[in-house]
Every structure is written in structure tokens, then in C-alpha cells.
Amino acid sequence: MLIKGYKWDMRIYVLITKARPLTLYLYKEGIVRFSSEKYDTKVIKNVFSHLTNSSINKFASNVNIMSGSTFGQGIKWKFE
């Protein structure tokens, strides 16, 4: 699934306190991480278009190191 041509993933935080009965708490806040370059199946070795790991994407040439921004609000968005 792509958003405006970029790969993304979502992190949702859940605390499980009991297995039986299942008791869990879903934290309201989470993050969505984007790749720093548009997804392209022709260039398999381009980690900046295939991975959403922000530790890798901060080294992409089109990312402003200070703001991390190439896509809208940057390569990491909060749920809010």
C-alpha cells in the first residue's frame, strides 16, 4: 500500500496486562513512517524507496537532516 507513491508503515503501541481474560490497553498516540523516495520496483537496491526505517532514511540525499522533511510533515508522522 502506498501513500502518494511512498511506502509506509504504522506503529501502534499496546500494553497486554493479562492473557486470560485478555486485557489490553491501546495507547492513543502512534507513528507512521515513510520511505524518503517514491517506491520504484525497477530499482530494487534503492533502500531509500523500499525501507521506512527512519535511521536509514535520514541519510537520503533529498532529506533535510534538520527537519527530516521530504514528504508532507516529514518522514515520521504522529497520529494526531
Q: What percent of the chain has pLDDT over 90?
A: 20
CA distance to 8, 25, 40, 63, 71, per residue, from 5 (Å) = 10, 33, 9, 16, 10
pTM over 0.75: no
pLDDT of residue 41: 82
Residue 25 has pLDDT above 90, yes or no: yes
Q: What would the pLDDT profile of 31-62 be if each residue is shown by its tens digit?
A: 888 887 788 888 788 777 777 777 777 777 66
